[in-house]
Amino acid sequence: DDVREGVITYRIAAHAGDLAKGHPGAQARDDAISRARFDFRWRDQFNLALDPERALDFHDQTLPAEGAKTSHFCSMCGPKFCSMKITREVRAAAEQGMAEKAREFIEGGAEIYLPEQAKPAAE
């Protein structure tokens, strides 16, 4: 087990070094696991981890049911406070708000610069 820990430690250090050197493959791997995390693709996260077995073991310690591998939250924050879920909701609300404002803009004549309105005379 100590040898395995040493190998994984080496892999983590080597990956950090590759990132620091700007190795495109290392960045692509980090980007892929980040996308998998944001999309709640648990199996992809396990497979992309530097130690897939350990990642699965850690997950199963807190969420052992098979259905937890398709859940859209983790055990850290739970379903109500999941930062990924909240980010999705904020993005959806912003997208909807932008669509409404775009529609208002078009309905209002789609003018960027409106003519200046006459100011009342100074007394």
Residue 123: pLDDT band (50, 70, 90) is low
Q: Which of 29-33, 64-68, 83-87, 101-105 has the lowest mean pLDDT?
A: 64-68
Whether the pTM exceeds 0.95: the reply is no
- Helix intervals (H) in the chain: 2-20, 24-38, 42-48, 52-62, 83-107
Is pLDDT at 75 greater than 80 in this prediction?
no
Is pLDDT at 119 greater than 80 in this prediction?
no
CA–CA gap between residue 59 and residue 44 (Å, rounded)? 13
CA–CA gap between residue 48 and residue 14 (Å, rounded)? 15
CA–CA gap between residue 98 and residue 104 (Å, rounded)? 10
Do 51 and 1 share a structural domain?
A: yes
Do 100 and 58 share a structural domain?
A: no
Q: What six digits make up the tokens of 37?
A: 């995390």
Is the dihedral angle over the CA atoms 96, 98, 101, 103 positive or is it negative? Answer: negative
Structurally, the chain folds into a number of domains equal to 2
Q: Which residue has the higher pLDDT, 117 or 122?
A: 117
**86 within a domain of the structure (yes/no):** yes
Residue 96: pLDDT band (50, 70, 90) is very high
Range of the domain at 48: 1-69
CA–CA gap between residue 102 and residue 20 (Å, rounded)? 42
Residue 77: pLDDT band (50, 70, 90) is confident
Average pLDDT, the chain: 89
Do 90 and 53 share a structural domain?
A: no
